[in-house]
Amino acid sequence: MSIAREARDALLRAESVDPLVLGGLVYANLGALYSKAPSRFGGFGNKTKGIGYLWKAIVVDPEGIDANYLYAQALLAEKDYVAAREALTRAMDAPARPDHPEADFARKLEVENLLASLEQKL
């Protein structure tokens, strides 16, 4: 939990300097942290706050593979399968990032796997 707090604090500092740095990935990472961190026993987790940050990331970069994938994960946790499918579809259609071919390839595999498991639930 202390590492998650340190990450959150660093991201909040980055947000205060330039929230649009790296195409809004500060918001995507804050959203993922808030969505996945526990809220009990001194945790800072807050699903509503997490989804809010993830939505900000989508607004900044609507076609971003990471923002859409992380947003879909949060929506799946809330059992919003239709919206999750839409976000995963946007992630699959995300344009390639020239400086991140390996990361994009790996993320597309994660998107495909999550989409396949989601289709079984629909």
Q: Give the C-alpha separation, 59 to 38, whole Å.
A: 26
Q: At what angle do helices 81-92 and 101-121 cross, to 10 degrees?
A: 150
Please give the CATH number for the structural domain made up of 2-121: 1.25.40.10
Q: Give the C-alpha separation, 71 to 92, whole Å.
A: 13
pLDDT higher than 70, residue 31: yes
pLDDT higher than 90, residue 25: no
How confident is the model over 58-107, as pLDDT tens digits? 999 999 999 999 999 999 999 999 999 999 999 999 999 899 999 999 99
Q: Give the C-alpha separation, 82 to 75, whole Å.
A: 9
How confident is the model over 40-69, as pLDDT tens digits? 766 677 788 999 999 999 999 999 999 999
Predicted pLDDT of residue 42? 63
Domains of the chain, by residue range, sit at 2-121
* Average pLDDT estimate for 101-121: 94
Predicted pLDDT of residue 41? 65
Amino acid at site 49: K
